[in-house]
Structure 1
Amino acid sequence: MPLEEPSIVDRLAEPESLLGMLQRGRGKGYLMALESPPEQVWPLLIECIINDPRLDRQLEDRAEYYASLIMATGADLEPLATDLRRNDVRNSNCTCCLGLILSTVGCLADEFSHSAAMEILRDYVPFGRKWLGVTQVLGDLEMPGALDGIDEVLAHRISSNPDVHTEFVRAVESDWKWYCKLDEDQRKGVCLLLPVYEPWQTFCRRNARFAALFAEMGIAYDQPPAPSNKMTEAEISELSLREMFASVDESTRGCFWRFLPEKVSPDDEDFLLQHVASKDWCRRVLAFRGLGQLSTPRAFEAIKSYIEVTTDRDQGARRYAYIAIEAMPPELTLETARVWFQSGRHHLHIPAGGILARYATLDDVPMLIEELRTPETVRCEDFRLSDALEALALFGGLGPIPELETVFHEVAHCRQRYRAAMAMDVTAPVHFQREYAFECLWDCHYETRTLGCETVSLTEPGALERLKELAADEDDDVREAAQARIEDF
């Protein structure tokens, strides 16, 4: 029997080692890397990029963090190119880490005009599985020669490889269906694999073989947007509550959810309670919205009971029940939230945490701190961590909490580190500024960098210089926070 693969958390190095901090994207790791001999840093950077250390590859960004360190230390990119050539083959299972390699190389080419990075992307197109995204990145580069010859390379690859041709056809068909649903303004804000978008439009203009690939699909690519049959906001505002329930479907559920609170009155409570058990999940969702607006004891008990007894098959509608109960006043919800939070049922932890993150009292602080002490929590295996951190951030001036510092040092998810930093800044602002604010300026996560800009002491050596660099950060919030502190200075 093959041995079970270790989890991402188990593969992380000790949190206070240089490798451990680089894997987690900490600002302290960035600063330590700058102070270390480059030849000691290079293999650690390559290790991080090739063996993606992120728990959440959708929400955690590391590309700019690693790309910036590559530029600062002069690391060679050949190990990344070698790994792509070795592992990005069609029948391989080694796809999990390719995204971080490509996004880091793409960041080097895009933000730093790194010519070797551009060549790695160009060399990748003839064989790589992510050829579509890489071609789009090359098309967005403002570097001479980025797309030279790529049209011919792709025309040959798509025409000669049945698997790639099938992938091309499916992608065009999928993007075409999406394109037809968009209005004129929406079409301007997307990039699709269609000959009306770049770089495909240029490829078709200068390469007959590429144009033929799109033409053989038989699609009229210049089709105007279809007339919209969506209800306008003015029309929705004229509907009564019962008319909304009679006509709601998947296409109108979101709009009706927004407008429904202004339609609800206490006289509607019985009507709404009846629909909590509706077989139509859109009507159940609207019932939760209305009952949340009423926030009566009967409404609370109905939603509470629904949450407690529903199965995972109902989790789509249950999510809206969470939203409704979390918005109810604490005199209705807080005692239940405390019980749910300490239960062994994951689906009860979610609304309980949401309620505590809004309404926790000082009496809840020991329970919240105890939650931070469990190994599963720091490993991000217990989803109560986010809400425990946000709840602790309600209490200013509690003083340093060692468990918050442990989370900041050890947690693998960079957004949880931000929440720990935010809670430390509220509970012990002087301690946070002295011990952590400066390193936050180099954190991989934009919210943590923003917090660092807002809290760092301008008398700290190097702080003002870093703020001037962050005044040109890629993230709007970071830029604005850095510029505001500079202006204050």
Structure 2
Amino acid sequence: MTSRARAAIEAAATADPAAAPAVHPPQSDLLALLRSGHGEGARRAFAAVGDAARAEVVAALDSCVLRDPRAVPATESRSLYYARLYARLDAPLDTLAAHLLCDEDWTDEDAERTALPLAVLGDLARAGRDDAVALLRRYAAEGCDWTIAVEQLTRATDPMALHGMLVLALERGDDEELYDCVRRGSGMRPWRVWGFQDPRMRSIVEKVDLDWWRWELSRGKPADPGTRPTVDQVLSEAAASPRRSFVCGRRLASVATAEHRGLILATAWSGAAGARIAALRYLGDVGDPALLDLAETALADDSPVPVRQAAVQAVGGLRTGEAVVRARGWLGADGALGEVAVRILAGAGEQTDGPALIAALRRCRPDRDRYQLLDLVDGVGRLGLADALDPVRDVYRGSPCAGLRSRAVDTLARIEPDFTATTAVDCLWDCEAETRLFAVDRADMRVDGVPEQLRALARDPAEDDGVRAAARQRLAAV
């Protein structure tokens, strides 16, 4: 496996959404909608009439796929959304081919350079696009991340898509690369089949099977007490490696007991930056009330930015009555303390806190204040604040993050009078399966295009199983 492919996989495995805010440059309206995977963007693209309009849509689509717009790719879907656009528009794949098959493919170490284009080609191959299969086969023979192309070819409906790929894999890959491919393969297809055809591949498949078997045997066994890290060791690791501080915060939960609370609190007050972040994350996860007293210090402007961010997450997640009282006293404070106040009130406040939440919602920008907006939008929905309709609509339309848009949809369903005929209809074309599923049960069947889209979702083999089943059930009930 190439270093770029390995980096992409490791990034997906360790991604922490709270650590990577979404930042996007100014774009045209349609491009912004397509970049965020918005259902309205897909509907507008499908409605493009004339060669000039279609060319503009295809250019915007190519731009989205070549420069992955997701802040944290592991947490958002895009490939099926873009593949459906390519298929519906019958868009050519020349731009993707030029991007994948060039000298830069071997010199650019960006882990996200090929992941989305190859995933889109895999979805197109599953939809029966022969040109996508051909491009994947060519990239498997010539490209740097050839192992990902082989994996995507396993999704093709064409039975000949994998013809000759065993010989290519044996020629291009060493045993370590092939081991990684077999271990990651869904159901180990086609590697297990190839194991019956070649002794070298068979030995690799058997090694993967043996390693899985050993792992399964070890599951459920108590860990050797001598090998478990201590709280001091975890905090020292976080201090020495601040980039691992969030991971260390999670690890504290498995090793810390009540007797360690004093040490962890002392670290959160005045430890090294990485250790403070780990301690704050742990205290936030357990909802320790001492965070309220710690807030003013941890959220001070002279604290390192990562420490303030960790404190905002930890303190802002408190939902006790005492936290609500303290938050009301912090309202109007500058900086992070004011942000924490509205997040606590969004999660546990009452109707009387509504004006403060709406004012905070109006101050936020979807492209900058993503994590504060997640709490605020949920709070508006929880309290049913109809006066917040316009700013929530702005979040729904303007957020570059599909996850935030999904939360806005849930809130709009509670406060938007014509939700079923407007927002719910757009959501049938959204990039996130969860959002499509929400819309399937609510979209007004009398709106043009809704029955046709439900039928398309119900019969699409690439669609999420839950969405497909819900669409069939909704159609059967009509």
Q: Same fold (TM over 0.5)?
A: yes
Q: Which runs of 5+ in 1 are unaligned?
A: 1-6, 159-164, 176-189, 234-243
Give the Å deviation of 1:106: 0.7
Distance change in 2, residues 1:462/1:258 (3 Å): farther
1:123 pairs with 138, 144, 159, which one? 138
Distance change in 2, residues 1:220/1:191 (3 Å): closer
1 CA distance for matches of 2:110 and 2:229? 49
Q: Which residue of 2 aligns with 1:70?
A: 86
Q: Is the 8 A contact 1:121 1:138 kept in 2?
A: yes
2:44 pairs with 12, 15, 32, which one? 32
Q: Which residue of 1 aligns with 2:31?
A: 19
Distance change in 2, residues 1:247/1:29 (3 Å): closer
2 CA distance for matches of 1:64 and 1:286? 34
* 1:445 and 2:432 are equivalent in the alignment: yes
1:98-109 to structure 2, matched below 5 A, reads: 98-109=114-125
Q: Which residue of 1 aligns with 2:238?
A: none
* 1:368 and 2:357 are equivalent in the alignment: yes
Give the Å deviation of 1:85: 0.7
1 CA distance for matches of 2:33 and 2:455? 24
Q: Which residue of 1 aligns with 2:384?
A: 396
1 CA distance for matches of 2:119 and 2:36? 17
Q: Which residue of 1 aligns with 2:242?
A: none
The code of the aligned residue for 1:169 comes to E
* 1:339 and 2:351 are equivalent in the alignment: no
2 CA distance for matches of 1:446 and 1:405? 20
Q: Which runs of 5+ in 2 are unaligned?
A: 1-21, 235-248
Q: Which residue of 1 aligns with 2:210?
A: 222
Partner secondary structure for residue 380 of structure 1: coil
**Mean CA deviation greater in 327-336 or 30-39:** 327-336
2 CA distance for matches of 1:397 and 1:369? 8
The code of the aligned residue for 1:436 comes to T
1:286-325 to structure 2, matched below 5 A, reads: 288=283, 292=287, 301=292
The code of the aligned residue for 2:365 comes to T
The code of the aligned residue for 1:77 comes to L
Give the Å deviation of 1:73: 1.7
Give the Å deviation of 1:120: 1.0
Give the Å deviation of 1:94: 6.0
Q: Is the 8 A contact 1:273 1:302 kept in 2?
A: no
1:229-268 to structure 2, matched below 5 A, reads: 230=220
Q: Which residue of 2 aligns with 1:55?
A: 71
The code of the aligned residue for 1:417 comes to R
Question: What whole-Å deviation, never above 9, does each CA across 1:342-399 have from its counterpart, x for those lacking one?
Answer: 5423xx688656533421333433333333444x722135531211211111222624
**Mean CA deviation greater in 438-447 or 94-103:** 94-103
Decide which structure has the larger Cα Rg and report it.
1
2 CA distance for matches of 1:230 and 1:313? 40
Q: Which residue of 2 aligns with 1:186?
A: none
2:420 pairs with 433, 444, 465, which one? 433
Distance change in 2, residues 1:457/1:139 (3 Å): closer
Question: What whole-Å deviation, never above 9, does each CA across 1:89-128 have from its counterpart, x for those lacking one?
Answer: 2213566442221111111112x12221111111111232
Q: Which residue of 2 aligns with 1:79?
A: 95
1:400-479 to structure 2, matched below 5 A, reads: 401-428=389-416, 430-472=417-459, 474-479=463-468
Give the Å deviation of 1:63: 1.3
> What count of residue pairs does the alignment treat as equivalent?
427
2 CA distance for matches of 1:245 and 1:84? 44
Q: Is the 8 A contact 1:407 1:420 kept in 2?
A: yes
The code of the aligned residue for 1:409 comes to R
2 CA distance for matches of 1:322 and 1:94? 29
Q: Is the 8 A contact 1:138 1:146 kept in 2?
A: yes
2 CA distance for matches of 1:209 and 1:229? 29
Distance change in 2, residues 1:45/1:314 (3 Å): closer
Question: What whole-Å deviation, never above 9, does each CA across 1:250-296 have from its counterpart, x for those lacking one?
Answer: 8xx98996999xxx9xxx8x985576447999x97999499748x6x
**Mean CA deviation greater in 448-457 or 86-95:** 86-95
1 CA distance for matches of 2:209 and 2:420? 56
Q: Which residue of 1 aligns with 2:168?
A: 153
Q: Is the 8 A contact 1:12 1:53 kept in 2?
A: no
* 1:206 and 2:192 are equivalent in the alignment: no
Q: Is the 8 A contact 1:152 1:207 kept in 2?
A: no
2:158 pairs with 113, 127, 143, which one? 143
Partner secondary structure for residue 218 of structure 2: coil
Distance change in 2, residues 1:314/1:273 (3 Å): farther
2 CA distance for matches of 1:45 and 1:275? 49
Question: What whole-Å deviation, never above 9, does each CA across 1:139-185 have from its counterpart, x for those lacking one?
Answer: 34442112211222232223xxxxxx5xx63774xx5xxxxxxxxxx
2:374 pairs with 375, 383, 386, which one? 386
Question: What whole-Å deviation, never above 9, does each CA across 1:221-255 have from its counterpart, x for those lacking one?
Answer: 6364264374579xxxxxxxxxx9999998xx989
The code of the aligned residue for 2:88 comes to A
Distance change in 2, residues 1:450/1:382 (3 Å): closer
Distance change in 2, residues 1:458/1:205 (3 Å): closer
| Sequence identity percentage | 22
Q: Is the 8 A contact 1:248 1:256 kept in 2?
A: no
Distance change in 2, residues 1:138/1:334 (3 Å): farther
